[in-house]
Amino acid sequence: MTTAPRLECSREAARLAALDRYDVLDTPREEAFDRITRLAKRIFDVPIVLVSLVDAHRQWFKSRIGLDLQQTEREPAFCNIPIAQNAPLVVPDARADPRFAGNAFVVGEPGVRFYAGAPIVSPGGHVLGTLCLIDRKPHEFSADQLETLTELAQVVMDELELRQLANSDALTGAASRRAFREELGRALHLATRHDHELSLVVFDLDDFKQINDKHGHSTGDAVLARSVAACLGQLRVSDVIGRLGGEEFGVLLPHTGARAAFEVAERLRAAIAEASFSSGGETFHVTASFGVATRLRGTVDADALMREADAALYLAKAQGRDRCVMARPAEIPADSSGRRRVLKGGKILFDRRTRSRDCTIRSLSDSGAGIDVVSSAGLPDTFELAIDTDAKVRPCRLVGLTDRRLEVEFM
- Could you tell me what percent of the chain has a pLDDT over 90? 74
Average pLDDT of the chain? 91
Give the contacts of 292 (CB within 8 A, at least 6 positions apart).
Answer: 199, 200, 201, 258, 261, 262, 265, 309, 312, 324, 325, 326, 327
Secondary element (H or E) of residue 310: helix 302-318
As a whole number of angstroms, the distance between CA 244 and CA 55 comes to: 18
Q: What is the mean predicted confidence (pLDDT) over 81-100?
A: 96
As a whole number of angstroms, the distance between CA 232 and CA 227 comes to: 9
Q: Give the chain's length.
A: 411
pLDDT band (50, 70, 90) for residue 166: confident
Q: Which CATH architecture has domain 177-331?
A: 2-Layer Sandwich (3.30)
Q: Is 125 left (phi over 0), alpha (psi -120 to 50) or beta?
A: left
Could you please state the CATH topology (level 3) that the domain comprising 3-163 is classified under.
Beta-Lactamase (3.30.450)
Q: What is the mean predicted confidence (pLDDT) over 372-387?
A: 93
Q: Cα–Cα distances in Å, from 123 out to 18, 126, 149, 157?
A: 10, 7, 18, 9
pLDDT band (50, 70, 90) for residue 308: confident
- Asked whether the predicted pLDDT for residue 284 surpasses 80, the reply is yes
As a whole number of angstroms, the distance between CA 228 and CA 222 comes to: 10
pLDDT of residue 339: 73
pLDDT of residue 7: 52
CATH 2.40.10.220 correct for 338-410: yes
pLDDT of residue 1: 37
Per the model's pLDDT, the better-predicted residue between 349 and 334 turns out to be: 349
Of the candidates 145, 116, 112, 113, the residue with the CA atom closest to the CA atom of residue 130: 116
DSSP secondary structure string for all residues of 183-204: HHHHHHHHHHHHT--EEEEEEE
Per the model's pLDDT, the better-predicted residue between 392 and 221 turns out to be: 221
Q: 195: buried, middle or exposed (CB in 10 Å: 19+, 13-18, 0-12)? A: exposed
pLDDT of residue 164: 85
Q: DSSP state, 385? A: E
The DSSP bridge partners found for residue 63 are 51
Residue ranges of the chain assigned to CATH 2.40.10.220 = 338-410
Of the candidates 334, 410, 408, the residue with the CA atom closest to the CA atom of residue 373: 408
pLDDT of residue 300: 63
As a whole number of angstroms, the distance between CA 292 and CA 264 comes to: 10
- Asked whether the predicted pLDDT for residue 2 surpasses 60, the reply is no
Q: Active site includes 247?
A: yes
Pair 58, 73: CB distance under 8 Å: yes
pLDDT in tens, 56-90: 999 999 999 999 999 999 999 999 999 999 999 99
Angle at 114 between CA 108 and CA 120, to 5 degrees: 105
Residue ranges of the chain assigned to CATH 3.30.450.40 = 3-163
Q: 254: buried, middle or exposed (CB in 10 Å: 19+, 13-18, 0-12)? A: middle
Q: Which of 12, 159, 247, 248 is catalytic?
A: 247
Q: What is the mean predicted confidence (pLDDT) over 132-158?
A: 97
Secondary element (H or E) of residue 306: helix 302-318
pLDDT of residue 332: 45
- Asked whether the predicted pLDDT for residue 142 surpasses 60, the reply is yes
- Asked whether the predicted pLDDT for residue 335 surpasses 60, the reply is no
Pair 82, 89: CB distance under 8 Å: yes
Q: What is the mean predicted confidence (pLDDT) over 18-27?
A: 91
Residue ranges of the chain assigned to CATH 3.30.70.270 = 177-331
- Asked whether the predicted pLDDT for residue 343 surpasses 50, the reply is yes
pLDDT of residue 333: 45
Q: 47: buried, middle or exposed (CB in 10 Å: 19+, 13-18, 0-12)? A: middle
pLDDT band (50, 70, 90) for residue 327: confident
pLDDT of residue 253: 96
pLDDT of residue 338: 63
Q: What is the mean predicted confidence (pLDDT) over 12-33?
A: 91
